[in-house]
Chain A
Amino acid sequence: MKPFRIIGRSIRDAFKSVFRNFSLSMASILCATITLLVVSISLLIAVNINEATQSLENELSIVVYLEKSATEEDINYLKSTISKINDVEEVTYKSKDEWKLEMSEYNSSFGTIFENYETNPLLDSFIITVTDVTSLDKIAKEIREMDKVESASYGEEAVTTIVSAFDIVEKTTFVVVIALIFVTAFLITNTIKLTIYSRRNEIEIMRLVGASNIAIKLPFVFEGFIIGVLGSLIPIIVTIYGYIIAYEKLNGHIITELISLISPYNFVFYVSLIIAGLGAVIGMFGSLRAVRKYLKI
């Protein structure tokens, strides 16, 4: 029963001292609020950027044009060979007639041009999507070597630039978010240290009357938890309402229709959960670290 009494007392004391040392607790809570807000916003942006680059990357594909002499048998053979190449996700056949129809629909002047030809001047093709955009070049080269293949292209330089740019953007946002989390941990830990510094007498008395280390640490750990969770409340509200409103105002996409935002439901709740978790964990570890300093262990 004794451990339960100690835990119960710790929780009670944690709540008491949050309100008893209200101005100092408030400083810690505000610090957590501001830093977690920044983390939350950057997390929303980072995940969206990641999602957008991923979906743009998925749009990238290799277009393979076949020689005019390719027979149906060649086409089937090529399709199955290409499918077997590593990193190839899907091979879609698109006949020259389909191209013709699509182009005519896109612009009527194409239709007029096509009328000048007796036969369809276009070529049959495959559209190949890949699982890993960095292997676009390798796959295109391999396909070019194949029989009955006129050309295989994926936009080469432009695409290479885009892919490497996306890579940099993804890595940068990741680094920024991680750095922000560290800064947050550092700032929250330090403000909590200040609140605990003002109570080192309390810790000293606890030590001298023979409270075990765990019994000394627990109330502070719970206090850190309370501060962290209270500090994450405003960021969570801002995350949920802010994102939903932004999503509706922007009609779900940003700059162009190509870049769509992640739909808010569930996404905002996941982010909120991360923010609350971060607040709680940083609060707990922050006070644990601060107390350890005065425990002399």
Chain B
Amino acid sequence: MKFIELKNVNKTYSTGVTALADLSVEISKGEFVFVIGHTASGKSTFIKMLYREEKPTKGSVIVGGVNVAKLRNGRVYKLRRKIGVVFQDFKLLPKLTVYENVAFALECLGMKASEIRPKVLKAIEIVGLKEKVRSFPHQLSGGEQQRVCIARAIVNEPKLLICDEPTGNLDPETSKEIMKVIESINKDLKTTVIMATHDKEIVNRMKKRVLLIEHGVLTGDYLKGSYKSHEAI
């Protein structure tokens, strides 16, 4: 079942730089997809388009049946409630505890405190940070901070989890743990996961679908692919 569909997507920035050229791809519900490519290859633009941080210059981006490209500014927030985003630099609020950081996501949606509590605790349990509920971000390791970020991204039970180089700042061991968490979210919660990464080891080990973007063009789409198969071509 198609969940995400990009058709002939072009993106040219006002500076004249073309980030994406005629990109078309389909992603099904529940898939786990890696997006790889060099720095400035256009993979960030691709990722940002999915949660409407960027708009395509041409073409259509359909996420869960909604053409994101045509979405009015005032309605973008409705799309984002269905999407969780995890960043390389965590983007946690330093003055809030782990619990408050995760609850913050639901509070700004105007949810009742009584509804927020069980959801937040569940999300924190999924990422395995039950014991650190009252800690502040600066008291946590990098891996733990990234787990908080993931918990915040999934607390509203999104259908799509977008990860923009989530392991970019972490050592290989911690990266592995984080990937386990993300994989279990994909398996257990049936959340579609799209992850941009540079980490060859992760891609090679996990044997998931890989999209290769080079100079703004989708040059490879491998089921159970890896960096190796890309090098072979």
Chain A residues engaging chain B, CB cutoff 8 angstroms? 2-3, 5-6, 9, 20, 201-202, 204-213, 215-216, 297
Contact = CB atoms under 8 A, between A and B. Distances in A.
B95 A213 contact: no
Interface stretch (B21-29, B100-108, B120-128, B187-195): B100-108
Interface residues on B, range: 20 to 34
A179 to B, nearest CB: 36
Given A20-B95, A201-B93, A208 B109 contact: no
Given A20-B95, A202-B93, A204-B91, A209 B108 contact: yes
A210 B73 contact: no
Given A9-B107, A205-B105, A297-B73, A210 B91 contact: no
Interface string B4-23: 00000000000000000000
Interface string B60-78: 0000000000000110011
B93 A210 contact: no
From A3, A6, A202, A209, residue with most partner B Cβ within 10 Å: A209
Contacts of B112: 5
A210 B80 contact: yes
Contact of A207 (B80, B93, B106): B80
A209 B156 CA distance: 9
Interface of B: 51, 73-74, 77-83, 85, 91, 93, 95, 104-112, 152, 156
Contacts of B95: 20
Contacts of A207: 77, 80
B25 to A, nearest CB: 23
Contact of A208 (B78, B82, B85): B85
A interface, over-half SS: helix
B227 to A, nearest CB: 29
A218 to B, nearest CB: 10
Contacts, number: 56
A215 B77 CA distance: 10
Contacts of A208: 51, 80, 85
Nearest to B85: A208
Contacts of B51: 208
Contacts of A204: 91
Contact of A201 (B91, B106, B107, B111): B91
A2 B79 CA distance: 19
A3 to B, nearest CB: 7
A213 B93 contact: no
A209 B91 contact: no
Given A210-B109, A213-B77, 17 more contacts: A5-B110, A5-B111, A9-B108, A9-B110, A20-B95, A202-B93, A204-B91, A205-B91, A205-B105, A206-B104, A207-B77, A209-B104, A209-B109, A210-B108, A211-B77, A211-B108, A215-B108
A212 B73 CA distance: 10
A111 to B, nearest CB: 87
A3 B111 CA distance: 10
A129 to B, nearest CB: 60
A172 B195 CA distance: 64
Nearest to B104: A205
Contacts of A205: 91, 93, 104-105, 152
B77 A212 contact: yes
A205 B80 CA distance: 11
A44 to B, nearest CB: 41
Name the residue among A2, A211, A216 with the largest chain B CB count within 10 angstroms.
A211
A88 B138 CA distance: 79
A211 B1 CA distance: 29
A211 to B, nearest CB: 3
B161 to A, nearest CB: 12
A20 to B, nearest CB: 6
